[in-house]
């Protein structure tokens, strides 16, 4: 169990450090950043689907797949759908100034904290199932977090925060993943098989993120050459998850 704690805490700290990547993203010219991110998003979509179908579902279904698992997966989709609606709940039409920070920025910070907390729960639950499953899930989360954190950093700057404060707040919200991991590991001590519903929630969340957020973003690009590279990137993402089976 000590190794599970070690792997979980180390993984969520790595995920948290991704929060500061936004400043590097802004240092890259917009056109170059867009070209890089579109393939990373495609790779991330493949990794999320791959982790859900190659690692997580097979792990929880080793002794059979119960109807409750399907309900938990649907609940995971609902949670992430609701979270996304919550983040985009309020809009402000007042001009952005250094004295007026848009309320949507605070909503984004709250939503991002909840998202990161859930990521922490999911990562730790995956390590409870098995170390390879935990590593695969951590990689999938990291790949998804990179474009998300760049976007979040941009939102905070647009809302009127300074670069320093935006980085600090992004990192603080990212630390919610550590809290999520600790909660997951503590629950495991008191609630038998708690990893099963948590993994199902992860599957639902990954399917929702990949299917409703990432893939629609990819469909905005219609050029044949770029589209083919997106497909290849997606396949590579799935392949990476498949190759991680060698760790078992």
pLDDT at 248: 63
Condensed to tens digits (0 to 9), the pLDDT of residues 162-210 reads 777 877 888 888 889 999 999 999 999 888 888 899 999 999 999 999 9
At 242 the pLDDT is 93
Q: Which residue numbers in the chain have pLDDT < 70?
A: 1, 21-34, 86-105, 107-108, 150-155, 158-159, 248
Decide: 177 and 10 in contact? Cβ < 8 Å: no
Q: What is the pLDDT of residue 67?
A: 94
**So what's the pLDDT on residue 58?**
93
Q: Are the C-beta atoms of residues 159 and 104 closer than 8 Å to each other?
A: yes
Q: In angstroms, rounded to a whole number, what is the distance separating the alpha carbons of residues 53 and 57? A: 6
The C-alpha angle with vertex 194 and arms to 188 and 197, in degrees rounded to 5, equals: 150
d(CA 214, CA 231): 13
Rg (C-alpha) for the chain, rounded Å, is 18
Distance CA 174, CA 46 (A): 23
d(CA 220, CA 132): 34
Place of tokens 């609630």: 191
Give me the pLDDT at residue 92, please: 43
């Amino acid at each position: 169990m000590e190794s599970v704690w070690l792997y979980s805490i180390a993984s969520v700290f790595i995920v948290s450090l991704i929060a500061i990547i936004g400043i590097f993203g802004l240092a890259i010219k917009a056109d170059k950043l867009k070209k890089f991110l579109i393939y990373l998003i495609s790779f991330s979509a493949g990794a999320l689907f791959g982790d859900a179908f190659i690692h997580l579902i097979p792990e929880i279904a080793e002794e059979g797949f119960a109807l409750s698992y399907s309900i938990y997966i649907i609940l995971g989709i609902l949670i992430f759908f609701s979270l996304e609606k919550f983040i985009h709940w309020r809009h402000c039409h007042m001009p952005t100034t250094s004295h007026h920070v848009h309320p949507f920025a605070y909503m984004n910070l709250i939503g991002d904290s909840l998202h990161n907390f859930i990521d922490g729960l999911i990562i730790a639950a995956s390590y409870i199932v098995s170390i390879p499953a935990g590593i695969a899930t951590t990689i999938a989360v990291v790949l998804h977090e990179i474009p998300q954190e760049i976007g979040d950093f941009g939102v905070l700057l647009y809302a009127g925060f300074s670069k320093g404060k935006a980085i600090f707040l992004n990192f603080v919200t990212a630390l919610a993943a550590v809290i999520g991991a600790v909660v997951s590991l503590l629950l495991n001590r008191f609630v038998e098989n708690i990893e099963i519903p948590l993994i199902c929630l992860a599957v639902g969340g990954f399917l929702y993120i990949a299917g409703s957020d990432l893939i629609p973003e990819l469909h905005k690009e219609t050029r044949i050459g770029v589209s083919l590279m997106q497909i290849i990137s997606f396949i590579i993402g799935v392949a990476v998850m498949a190759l991680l089976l060698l760790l078992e």
